[in-house]
Amino acid sequence: MSWLRRNLRPIAWVLLASAAVILAFEILDAVVASGPPSEAEAEEAMGLTVAGLIKVTLFLAVGYGITIAVLRGVRGSSDSS
């Protein structure tokens, strides 16, 4: 409880920011005014068990790999200048 009391301010900021993001997207939804999802979309969620983990690993690795490559490139160019 004391941890919560000590960190009340940042927690409040996080919740407030989350509410703002949600509100913005609710407004966007109201503007777009969408209907129910198609059957194809619903079926898309049912994938293979292993494929789910492969996708996560692949996406994480791609994001990580790109960033490391960019960081090395940026550091390399700033070292040589």
Partner 1 sequence: MTTATAPTRTRASIATRVWLDISLFVGYVLLSAPQTTGIRFHEWFTIVFIPIFIAHIVLDWTWIKTVFRRSDRPRRGEVRFNRVFDIVLFIAMVVVIYSGFVVSESMLPSLGFEPAESAFWSTVHDAGGNLLILLVGIHLAMHWPWIRRNIGRIAPSRRAAS
Contact residues for partner 1 (CB under 8 A)? 7, 10-11, 14-15, 17-18, 21-22, 25, 28-29, 32, 34-38, 41, 44-53, 55-56, 59-68, 71, 74
* Closest CB to partner 1 among residues 1, 46: 46
Task: Name the minimum Å distance from CB 80 to partner 1.
Answer: 16
H-type helices in 33-80, by residue range?
A: 39-44, 49-80
Encoding tokens for residue 66? 């790109």
Q: How many CB atoms lie within 10 A of CB 75?
A: 10
* Closest CB to partner 1 among residues 25, 76: 25
